Amino acid sequence: MSSDSAVRWCPHCRRLTQNALTAPPVYDASLGNDLAEASPRVARLKRYCASCGEIWESVEAPLSVLEEHLQLHSKLEEARRQLAMLRLLLARDRHFEEDDAVKTIPLRRAA
């Protein structure tokens, strides 16, 4: 284990516990949207919990990268809501157009 032992949140214990790195940080460009290329300080870490013995992966990044991600996520959610509303309005308009088409069909008189 690494000497980077500290108290951090353990996702398995769901509380603050003594943690340690199991391997050196991996600076990985596959972390999405080229975060590692934009900031070489973004790293994937494997941590070990001294309380429960579980190992898990975590990511360390500058706060600015995480804040930007949260902003983009909220913009994406807003765009999805707007898209859902537009789909609903389009379906409603199509429904009314179909109703109007049925109403305008001339009826034949019985002979």
Domain boundaries of the chain, sorted by first residue = 6-61, 62-105
Reported in sequence order, the residue ranges of the chain that DSSP labels E, i.e. its strands, are 6-10, 15-21, 43-49, 55-60
Q: Give me the pLDDT at residue 3, please.
A: 47
Angstrom distance (rounded) from CA 109 to CA 7 = 86
* Average per-residue pLDDT for the chain: 79
**Most confident stretch, 73-77, 89-93, 104-108:** 73-77
Mean pLDDT of 18-33: 71
Identify which has the larger pLDDT, 21 or 34.
Answer: 21
Strand partners, 13: none
Whole-model pTM?
Answer: 0.49
Backbone angles phi, psi at 12, to 5 degrees: -85, -45
Q: Give me the pLDDT at residue 58, please.
A: 87
Where on the phi/psi map is residue 45: left (φ > 0), alpha (ψ -120 to 50), or beta? beta
